[in-house]
Amino acid sequence: MDERPAPPPVDPDAVIERLEEVRARIAAVGDPDRVRIVAVTKGFGPDAVAAAVAAGLADCGENYAQELLAKAAGAPAGTRWHFLGAPQRNKIASLAPVVHLWQAVDRRAVVDRLAAVAPGAALLVQVDVVGDPGKAGCPPEEAPGLVEAARAAGLRVRGLMAVGAAGDPEGTRGVFEALARLGRSLDVEELSMGMTDDFEAAVAAGSTMVRLGRVLFGPRPGRAAVRR
Ligand SMILES: *Cc1c(COP(=O)(O)O)cnc(C)c1O
């Protein structure tokens, strides 16, 4: 039984227009050819995935296992799925066949589980640059060890991921710059940073991957409406 209210419909033409604006804003602060846009479809229906793909965005991101699996089942061929949430150990095996990039790996237990059920999987290590207790991401000082452990386990560490400091543009800039420094010191290619409210600051700091939801699809339905 699905008790969520129906998500608001997504207008594919509006997505195309908004994407053009996003690309112009990226170009104003960086090199758009070096920034991949991941369409974050969480909270929206399958029409958001179809609209993203029709607009030329093959990369889609979700935070919750059930929601990703449901949308992946009906997604156009060639859609690449990014898992943006902390993967629960018992969901990893079912997600593994469809996930292109695990963006929020922040613990050794997840590395070990991935290595066991998805050998060679590609991942990003999520770093909690600010060090807020309870927030997702490993502390910066643990990132090198986690990267090392993942590489030793045969996983492909593509880079690092971070979330900015909500409502704090100055702090957010610091987060992005710190992640970029950490990425250089660990010799990784990808820096996944930047969301609707802060993607320009992220691109200016060297982001190679922005994760965008609302700026492409409009306001997201309330949290309670999102199935975990
Ligand atoms: C929801 C979410 C996004 C997209 O957020 P918007 O503000 O809608 O762009 C990006 N990254 C993560 C990790 C998220 O949870």
| CB 49 less than 6 A from any atom of ligand 1 | no
Identify the pLDDT of residue 4. 65
Report CA-CA distances (Å) from 117 to 66, 95, 121, 124, 153: 18, 10, 9, 17, 12
Residues in the chain: 228
Check: CB of residue 58 under 8 Å from CB of residue 36: no
Q: Which two tokens stand for residue 186?
A: 């660990």
| CB 126 less than 6 A from any atom of ligand 1 | no
Percent of the chain residues topping a pLDDT of 90:
88
Per-residue pLDDT of the chain (228 residues; tens, 9 = 90+): 556 678 889 999 999 999 999 999 999 999 999 999 999 999 999 999 999 999 999 999 999 999 999 999 999 999 999 999 999 989 999 999 999 999 999 999 999 999 999 999 999 999 999 877 788 999 999 999 999 999 999 999 999 999 999 899 999 999 999 999 999 999 999 999 999 999 999 999 999 999 999 999 999 987 544 444
Structural domains of the chain, with CATH: 12-217 (3.20.20.10)
Report CA-CA distances (Å) from 66 to 94, 115, 212: 10, 22, 20
| CB 91 less than 6 A from any atom of ligand 1 | no
pTM of the model: 0.95
Compute the distance from residue 161 Cα to the ligand 1 centre, in Å: 12
| CB 40 less than 6 A from any atom of ligand 1 | yes
Identify the pLDDT of residue 228. 43
Q: Tell me 220's DSSP state.
A: P
CA 111 from chain centre, in angstroms, equals 17
Tell which atom from ligand 1 comes closest to the C-alpha of 42. Answer: 1
The DSSP annotation for 145-172 comes to: HHHHHHHHTT-EEEEEE----TT-HHHH
Q: Give the mutation target among 195, 197, 214, 217 for probing the ligand 1 site: most ligand atoms within 8 A of CB.
A: 195
Q: What is the pLDDT of residues 123-157, one digit of tens each?
A: 999 999 987 778 899 999 999 999 999 999 999 99
Identify the pLDDT of residue 226. 47
Beta-strand ranges (E) seen in 2-114 are: 36-40, 59-62, 80-83, 99-105
| CB 18 less than 6 A from any atom of ligand 1 | no
Identify the pLDDT of residue 161. 98
Residue nearest to atom 8 of ligand 1 (CA): 213
Check: CB of residue 106 under 8 Å from CB of residue 126: yes
